[in-house]
Structure 1
Amino acid sequence: MAVLETRLEGLPVRRGKVRDVYDLGDRLLLVATDRISAFDWVLPTGIPDKGRVLTALSAFWFDFLDVQHHLLSIAVEDLPRSLELDPETRESLRGRIMIARKARVVPFECVVRGYLSGSGWKEYRSNGAVCGIKLPAGLVESDRIDPIFTPATKAETGHDENVSFDVMANAVGKEVAETLRSMSLEVYRAAAEHALGRGLILADTKFEWGFDDRTGELLLVDEVLTPDSSRYWSQETYRPGGPQPSFDKQFVRDWLETTGWDKASPPPELPADVVEGTRARYVEAFERITGRAFPWK
């Protein structure tokens, strides 16, 4: 059964498209629900265990990467006793929480692209560049490129907007921007190498960074390298020259495109086969990347 919303009494909360974020005072509690969004709408149907995949995969990458991050614990046993959770609520949270350090989040998505796809491909087709970075002529969709850092503004609603490095540097300072670019590229390369060893191509991803509220230390925050924030393709089926099947919600988007939905009114419920197919893709991404069986079947 999908968990679409959590309610923890007595805690301030803000809700994103997927996460319910609670303020614990000196820490944050991020709860990954099973909500799924497409075309800037949160869909009425959830994907069972999607939030657990996002949490478990983020925890894997935070542990794998040689970088400071915000994650303290994913164990429900580490929640404050003052919450006094009933057994049903506690179990519903198991596997989907991150207790994290508070940070001042940089107001830009730090996107790294190693392949030409999505909005990057559209931009390249129009002007031969992505976020002001000129690329070789004659590339085709999904072609491999030397990894590039292409920041984007963070939109509360609607789409993020790609911007040049200079726009970001003017907003956050050149030194900070250069550090974010360097660290984002470094993390991408390490993750892409690991994924390739598991038969997966990490086409692109977006990172969020923030400065620890107390120490000022730069931290990798939010989720990291999940199917919600990254485009993973199978190395076995990779064929440049068009779009590639991916381990994310593209399966949902493709189905929605067949329904006649106008994308301006509330979206339709997802049928069972689309729900099951989407869950299977998220679980497969987890199992291939980590080499572990997903703990919820």
Structure 2
Amino acid sequence: MSDSQEHADWTHVYSGKVRDLYVPTELLVDDDSWTGDPLSLSPVVLVVATDRVSAYDQVLSPAIPGKGAMLTSLTRWWFDQLPEVPNHLAHPLDDRLEALELPEVPAELAERGTLCRTLDMFPVECVVRGFITGGGWKEYQETGAIGGYALPEGLSNGDRLPEPIYTPAWKAPLGEHDVNVSYERTVELVGEVVAEQLRSLSLEIFARASEIAEARGVILADTKFEFGADRSTGIVTLADEVLTSDSSRYWDAEAYATAATPELRMASFDKQIVRDWLSANWDQEVSEEPPTLPHEIVEQTAAKYRELLDRLTAGA
């Protein structure tokens, strides 16, 4: 089964820039007039990480070989490192699922597909920053703060923050940009109790993950989490990809401590190579379509994904 295609036992119901979602075909309503959310009908969803790569809101060509399997492997590993945090994995012994005769995950998707319980997702992207860089650095230069958090004067790009900060965003509808929001706005979106749970869980997970990463010579600079409510219990549950190269910014600890330039200091284990190449080779005012990625850029990016996976999981 290739990406975004139907399968006898699984029906494709959604595609993002990188992920495809499938639900068991037999659980769907066989009625062409029905236009509801198919995820509301199924207690499980098959989340498939593709090899697609996106930058500047564009899906690029060619894909990064092996990327989907590496992201899935890293997410599974992080779930194992965080056993105290409820997550959306569908466990075979879950009494809410054992009565269902779920179809097998197709063999060709086994390395990239994760069988998960469907949740009622919260419209909040939970961003945690331990270092100042990226969009946070730009905001700090303009306002002296990030997400409403006033920061000390004189910080440089890449500096460690006095303590990690929680800077949420509103998850906009498909095709629109997410919008940075205040914590008070998240209270309006999900209620005070859930908003506080999202903030505290995000900071706790970030702190634990940072310890694990730094023990392996890797710095977790920032990341984003997504959560939903368990449909049976209401428990706030960690979902989607977790602490991967696509959702997080990681740096090499030795390079961070010794590199002579900010670029080398903050060289990340992700698709920054792709972004940098596009910035230098694509004028969006001249062409709406991005250029094809050169073979060497694709290979270098794949190598960065592989290096992070190996660094974090070696010996674990």
Query: TM-score when scaled to structure 1?
Result: 0.89
Counterpart in 2 of 1:116? 132
Query: Cα 1:182–1:170, aligned 2, differ >3 Å: closer, same or farther?
Result: same
Any conservation in 1 of the 2:3–2:20 contact (CA below 8 Å)?
no
Measure the CA separation in 1 of the matches of 2:101 and 2:191.
41
Could you tell me which residue of structure 2 aligns to residue 172 of structure 1?
190
Structure with the greater relative contact order (CA < 8 A, sep ≥ 6): 1 or 2? 1
Which one-letter code corresponds to 2:16 in the other structure?
G
User: 1:218 and 1:260, CA in 2 relative to 1: closer, same or farther beyond 3 A?
Assistant: closer
Residue 73 of structure 1, CA deviation: 5.9
Counterpart of 1:103 in structure 2 is 119
Report matched runs for 1:136-285 at 5 Å.
136-145=152-161, 146-155=163-172, 156-238=174-256, 242-243=262-263, 244-262=266-284, 265-285=288-308
Query: 1:49 is matched with which residue?
Result: 66
Structure exhibiting the larger radius of gyration computed from Cα positions: 2
| Cα distance in structure 1, aligned partners of 2:53 and 2:315 | 24
Q: Single out whichever of 181-190 and 169-178 deviates more from structure 2.
A: 169-178
Identity fraction in percent: 48
Aligned residue number for residue 141 of structure 2? 125
CA apart distance, 1:237: 0.9
2:18 is equivalent to residue 18 of structure 1:
yes
- SS of the aligned residue for 1:265 comes to coil
Point out where structure 1 has 5 or more consecutive residues left out of the alignment: none
Q: How far apart, in 2, do the equivalents of 1:54 and 1:7 lie?
A: 23
Give the structure 2 partner of residue 64 of structure 1: 81
Q: Deviations over 1:99-134 (max 9, x none)?
A: 001101110100000000111111111111111111
Give 1:84 deviation, angstroms. Answer: 7.8
Q: Distance in 1 between matches of 2:20 and 2:262?
A: 36
Work out the CA distance in 2 between the residues paired with 1:197 and 1:125.
31
Q: 1:139 to 1:31 in 2, by over 3 A?
A: same
Runs of 4+ in 1 over 6 A off after TM superposition: none
Query: Within 1, Cα distance between the matches of 2:253 and 2:102?
Result: 48
SS class of match (2:289): coil
Q: Give me the TM-score of the superposition, normalised by structure 2.
A: 0.84
Are the structure 2 counterparts of residues 271 and 165 from structure 1 closer, same or farther at C-alpha, using a change threshold of 3 Å?
A: same
Alpha-carbon contact 2:269-2:305 (below 8 Å) kept: yes
Contact 1:5 1:33 in 2 (8 A): no
Residues 130-189 of structure 1 deviation map (CA, whole Å, 9 limit, x = unaligned): 111111111111110110000011132253221111111121111211111111000000
Q: Give 5+ residue unaligned stretches, structure 2.
A: 25-41, 93-97
> Are 1:73 and 1:98, in contact at CA under 8 Å, matched by a contact in 2?
no
Q: Does the CA-based 8 Å contact 1:4-1:46 persist in structure 2?
A: no
